[in-house]
Amino acid sequence: MPGIAVALPAYNEELSLPRTVPRVVTELRKVADDFEVVVVDDGSSDRTSDVVRELSAQYPEVRLVQHPVNLGYGAAVWTGITSGQKEFVFFTDADGQFDIGELARFMPFTSEYDLIIGYRAPRRDPPMRLVNALGWKLFVTLLFGYVARDIDCAFKLFRRDVLDRVYVESRGAAFSAEFLVKAHDKGLRVKELPVSHLPREAGSATGNRPDVILRAFKEMTAFWFKSRVLRRDS
Ligand SMILES: Nc1nc2c(ncn2[C@@H]2O[C@H](COP(=O)(O)OP(=O)(O)O)[C@@H](O)[C@H]2O)c(=O)[nH]1
Ligand SMILES: [Mg+2]
């Protein structure tokens, strides 16, 4: 496998990172000679940055990038995927809800597809989170047609040059939806594969917060208006 940069957006993940990062490094050492792990501390109020510094002292492949304040999930992902230097890019969550060991199954498809994206089979989130996710999928599909089986599944692998063709403006939870719609608009080849999803072991998910949800709907509506009504390409 040529070089791969792994991006982990992190918001108050001081408890999860000491488990997630060693797993990521151990698995990547099995499948790639050349890789880096970029952990983006998205303005956490806990010891997330200190924990990453300690981990990068132990694992030279690990690098910390910090946001001065909390800018949002999409902002953290964008910073992570654009600050790596390798031929391939992969992003997943820092909270350990995905099994990085499954990345090896994605790699054989990189010769045929531009993006290889996971869908959670099954999704292990609380019922209210599942209901919200369904509502979000219906909304996005209504605006743009089929986008993906599991739009927000944080298990996405792609060639770096995809980022030369796709610029994502959404900085909140609408990030992945905009990313995938633009990938389709550009005619990129997308492969979907099942991945495991694990319950969150530590820290708390904030994806269900009303302000996070409201921001996502605002960003998605703005993107729809710009791309489908004004037909402006961005
Ligand atoms: N929700 C949220 N997560 C962020 C933010 N910045 C970075 N993250 C990270 O994004 C990942 C997904 O967040 P999480 O709350 O677990 O979302 P969920 O699993 O979809 O409910 C985690 O690694 C978070 O630490 C942010 O502003 N809000
Ligand atoms: Mg999570």
Question: pLDDT (tens digit, 9 = 90+) per residue, 4-39?
Answer: 999 999 999 999 999 999 999 999 999 999 999 999
Among 66, 95, 204, say which to mutate for ligand 1: greatest number of ligand atoms within 8 Å of CB.
95
Residue at token pair 């298990």: 155
User: What's the average model confidence in pLDDT over 107-131?
Assistant: 94
Cis omega (within 30 of 0) for bond into 194: no
Query: Is pLDDT at 207 greater than 70 in this prediction?
Result: no
Predicted confidence at residue 50, as pLDDT, reads 98
Query: Is pLDDT at 234 greater than 60 in this prediction?
Result: no
Query: Is pLDDT at 223 greater than 70 in this prediction?
Result: yes
User: What's the average model confidence in pLDDT over 211-215?
Assistant: 90
Residue nearest ligand 1's atom 11 by CA: 93
Give the neighbor-by-neighbor strand order of the sheet with 155-159: 62-67, 35-42, 4-10, 88-92, 155-159, 115-120, 190-195
Lowest-pLDDT choice from 63-67, 88-92, 170-174, 202-206: 202-206
CA 186 distance to own-chain centroid = 20
| Phi, psi angles (nearest 5°) of residue 180 | -75, -40
Cβ(207) – ligand 1 distance below 6 Å = yes
Predicted confidence at residue 197, as pLDDT, reads 96
Q: Are 114 and 159 in contact (CB under 8 A)?
A: yes
Q: What is the CATH number of the domain that holds 114?
A: 3.90.550.10
Domain that holds residue 51: 4-233
- In sequence order, the 6+-apart residues with CB closer than 8 A to the CB of 111 are none
Mean pLDDT of the chain: 94
Predicted confidence at residue 200, as pLDDT, reads 86
Predicted confidence at residue 108, as pLDDT, reads 95
Predicted confidence at residue 120, as pLDDT, reads 97
pLDDT digits (tens, 9 = 90+) for 35-79: 999 999 999 999 999 999 999 999 999 999 999 999 999 999 999
- Ligand 1 atom nearest 11 alpha carbon: 25
Compute the distance from residue 5 Cα to the ligand 2 centre, in Å.
20
pLDDT tier at 203, thresholds 50, 70, 90:
confident
Residues of the chain with pLDDT > 90, as a percent, come to 85
H helices of 38-90, in order, are 48-58, 73-83
Query: Is pLDDT at 192 greater than 70 in this prediction?
Result: yes
Cβ(78) – ligand 1 distance below 6 Å = no
User: What's the average model confidence in pLDDT over 120-134?
Assistant: 91
- In sequence order, the 6+-apart residues with CB closer than 8 A to the CB of 81 are 5, 7, 89, 91, 163
Number of domains, the chain: 1
